[in-house]
Amino acid sequence: MKRRDILKKAGVGAVGLGAAGLALKPRKASADKVYNWKMVTTWPPHFPVLGEAADFTAKWIEEMSGGRIKITVYGGGELVPALQVFDAVSSGTVEMGHGASYYWAGKHPATQFFAAVPFGLNAQGMNAWVVAGGGQALWDELYAKFNLKGFAAGNTGVQMGGWFNKEINTIDDLKGLKMRIPGLGGKVLAKAGGNAVLVAGGEIYTSLDRGVIDATEWVGPYHDSKMGFYKAAKYYYSPGWHEPGTTLECMVNKQKFDALPKDLQAIIETACYRSNMWSLCEFEAKNNQYLKELVEKHHVQLRQFPDAVLAQLKKYNNEVLEELAAHDALSKKICDAYLAFQKQYNEWNTISEERYAKLKHL
């Protein structure tokens, strides 16, 4: 009897284990679920560094996830127009986007703080603010309003000041100038009497060559050389006061992101961090090589903005930031936090990086 009771219990246990096994199958299936996503970008397809960063981010996500997330990348205009990436991801038409947040100033002016602020943080400072200085939490708060989750996924470093067909000797030389310049830099140019024009990357050269714009900025020597701007403009100015460390972004539809398993969420974040480092390294490694080529081979005339011009532009920038902070409570919150962190960062930078940089003259 005892033996039969034991066998009966064993039988029940076996059935129970079988049921438990069946209950586990949906969880296993969920773990093995493949997500087929789309990423749209503001860049031309496979464009050096910028478009490549989007391609690599998708590749790294697929590799790290063991194929559980497969992402098809579309360049600007292939699936949606370059400057409609924000709306496409926000609405859930696609799951991901790659670009720069200052393109979305029309959605909310505070988006620009997560790309570039004139006379603001450089690449090292932006990374410090976003990763360890509270910037990511503010970014999350802002983008949640649009059903988005944003990640830093690239950086250009300090950019060049732009391409001009006339020398800039005084602030008056900017009056009436039609220049392709996005974000807050465009607002500053407008205060100087210029006209800021927003043109997608793939259309800049044609616009400059045909006289639709008088001047343009883009990134730095590596990119600018490949874009062929030296064929359409004579003077190449530094420094890039308007974009001292432009952060590129990878945005994800928040609803889709929140529905992912935690490990896949971490994989997306990690791939963005890798892209952030890779992009900056690409620019820093190649810019001087291509600057020499522009000057020595293509006879580009390298110029530096006069201090008086930069000082006046900085005053205009202070006015622009005051106006932006007055837009709404969240804009003020983000602006105040950014400027407070910049002040703290600059104080340390003055006695660390700046002093070290001076050693190169010894």
- Model confidence over 257-292: pLDDT tens digits? 999 999 999 999 999 999 999 999 999 999 999 999
Query: Exposed/middle/buried for 271, CB within 10 Å: 0-12, 13-18, 19+?
Result: buried
C-alpha 270 chain-centroid distance: 15
For residue 290, what are the contacts with CB-CB under 8 A and spacing of at least 6?
Answer: 221, 222, 224, 225
Residues 6+ apart with CB under 8 A from 156: 123, 219, 220, 243, 245, 246, 248, 279, 280, 283
Percent of the chain past pLDDT 70, that is, above it, reads 91
Q: Could you report the per-residue pLDDT of 305-314, keeping only the tens digit for each?
A: 999 999 999 9
Query: What average pLDDT does range 205-228 have in this prediction?
Result: 94
Answer yes or no: is pLDDT of 256 > 60. Answer: yes
Query: In degrees to the nearest 10, what's the CA dihedral of 227, 233, 237, 242?
Result: -60
The identity of residue 67, as a single letter, is G
Evaluate if residue 121 carries a pLDDT over 90. Answer: yes
* pLDDT recorded at residue 31: 62
Count of CA atoms in the C-beta half-sphere (13 A) of 144: 8
The pLDDT tens digits for 309-341 are: 999 999 999 999 999 999 999 999 999 999 999
Better pLDDT: 14 or 59: 59
Cβ neighbours for 15, distance < 8 A, ≥ 6 positions apart: none
- Specify the pLDDT at position 3: 43
Task: Give the confidence band of 190 by pLDDT, cuts at 50, 70, 90.
Answer: very high
Handedness of CA 36, 41, 46, 51 (dihedral sign): negative
Count of C-beta atoms within a 10 Å radius of residue 161: 25
* Rounded Cα–Cα distance for residues 300 and 66 (Å): 48
Average pLDDT, the chain: 92
Specify the pTM.
0.88
pLDDT digits (tens, 9 = 90+) for 134-154: 999 999 999 999 999 999 999
CA distance 358 to 339: 26
Phi, psi angles (nearest 5°) of residue 205: -60, -45
Residue-range domains of the chain with CATH: 33-157+245-284 (3.40.190.170)
Could you give the C-alpha distances from 125 to 50, 129, 254, 353, in angstroms and in order? 20, 6, 26, 11
Q: Strands (DSSP E) along 24-166, which ranges? A: 35-41, 69-74, 96-99, 148-155, 162-164
Structure tokens at 190: 């407008």
C-alpha angle 203-205-211 in degrees, rounded to nearest 5: 100
Count other Cβ atoms within 10 Å, centred on residue 263. Answer: 11
30 pLDDT tier (thresholds 50, 70, 90): low
